[in-house]
Structures are given as structure tokens and as C-alpha cells.
Amino acid sequence: MSLLFVLFFVFASIAVIGAILLIVAREPIHSALSLIMVMVALAALYLLLGAPFIAAVQIIVYAGAIMVLFVFVIMLLNAGVEERTNWSKIAKFAGLPIGVFLLFELAHWLARSAIGKSIANGSEATNAAVSTRALSEMLFRKYLFPFEATSILILIAILGALVLAKRDE
């Protein structure tokens, strides 16, 4: 077993445990922290896949910026402890089986797909690190239009937030 293999399982299990804690935790701030745990573990997985830029950006943007705002809002609103419910009927009889079914289907098709086979064969196709230069050339040459369109989308969202936050006088 290679070191990378062991590391993959360590970070994958951290991510899964974090995701479970996120749902199970009753304090909103614990949930937020579990989500951060998931994001950092995911960043480590990106790193193992040879994408250090994506890993760093994942932490900077999600864990460092967006989740800070989450935590901030939770602190400001002082959200109390969540109430426990006994599963709703739909969740119990439809949601749970469908969820399990979808999970197995995903695993099944992944195992049969080309990526799954290449992983099973041990060929680590993605292990070559993608340089930031290559990434940015792709982003600013090949996908320039979607990139700019996204930025306009974000601008619109900011304007929307401004309009909503502005008080009527």
C-alpha cells in the first residue's frame, strides 16, 4: 500500500465523518465547523490528485471566506440549539430507501465507468500536477466567455443583495 493510498483513506474518512457530523450536530456552529472540516479534507484530496491550485483555492474561498460569513451570521443571530424531530413519514418510507438506492447506483456505474476501471487497474492518470499556468490559460483562453459571464452573474447577485439590504426612506 502506497503512502498516497493511505492518505486518501485518511482524508476521505475525515470528509465523511465531517459530513455526518454536519447533519447530526445540534448546535448550528458545530454544523458549520463540520462543514469546514469537510472542505479542508476535500482540499487535501485535491492535493493528492495533483491539483494544488484547486486545493488552495478551495480552502481560501470556501473555508476561508464563505464559511467565515456563515459562522459570522450564526454568531450574530445567536441561533439556538436545533429541535429534534422523529423523522417525517416521507423521509422514513421514501427518502431513506431512495437515498440508499441512489448511492448503490452511483457506486455501480462508477465501478463500470472508464474512470473507475482505470482507478481499479492502478493507473493513476491524474497524478501529474496541473500547473497554475496551464489552468489559467485554459480559463482565460478556452473558457473566457463562461468565465466572464460568471463574473457578471456574481455582480448581479451583489447588486441584488444591495437592493434588498437598502432600507426604504
Partner 1 sequence: MEFIAQHPVLVASLVKIVILLVILMTILAYLSWFERKIIAHIQSRWGPYYVGAHGLLQPLADGIKFLFKEDLTPPASDKLLYILAPFLALTLAMTTLALIPFGPATVSIFGHETHLVVANVDIGLLFLFAITSLGVYGVALAGWSSNSKYSLLGGLRSSAQMISYEVSLTLSVVGVLLLAGTFNFNELVTSQQGYYFHFIPRWRIGPQFVGFLCYFTAAIAETNRAPFDLPEGEQELVGGFHTEYSSFKFAMFFMAEYANMVTVSCLATILFLGGWLSPFPERWTFMQYLPVVSLLALAVYLAYDTAVNMRGLARFQLAVVTVLAGGLGLLCLLPAVMPVIQGPFWFTFKMGLLLFFYVWTRSTLPRLRYDQLMSFGWKLLLPVSLMNLAVTALWIVYPLLVKRG
Site for partner 1, rule CB under 8 A: 27, 29-30, 33, 36, 40, 43, 52-53, 55-57, 59-60, 63-65, 68-69, 71-72, 75-76, 129, 131-132
Q: Which CB, 27 or 105, lies closer to partner 1?
A: 27
Q: Which CB, 52 or 116, lies closer to partner 1?
A: 52
- Cα gap 87→27, rounded to integer Å: 18
Shortest Å distance, C-beta 50 to partner 1:
11
Q: Which CB, 68 or 155, lies closer to partner 1?
A: 68
Shortest Å distance, C-beta 60 to partner 1:
5
Q: Are 40 and 12 in contact (CB under 8 A)?
A: no
- Cα gap 53→131, rounded to integer Å: 8
Q: Which CB, 60 or 106, lies closer to partner 1?
A: 60
Shortest Å distance, C-beta 121 to partner 1:
27
Shortest Å distance, C-beta 95 to partner 1:
30
Shortest Å distance, C-beta 43 to partner 1:
8
Q: Which CB, 12 or 30, lies closer to partner 1?
A: 30
Q: Are 23 and 37 in contact (CB under 8 A)?
A: no
Report CA 32 to chain centroid distance, whole Å: 13
- Cα gap 19→13, rounded to integer Å: 10
Distances (CA, A) of 20 to 48, 68, 96: 23, 20, 15
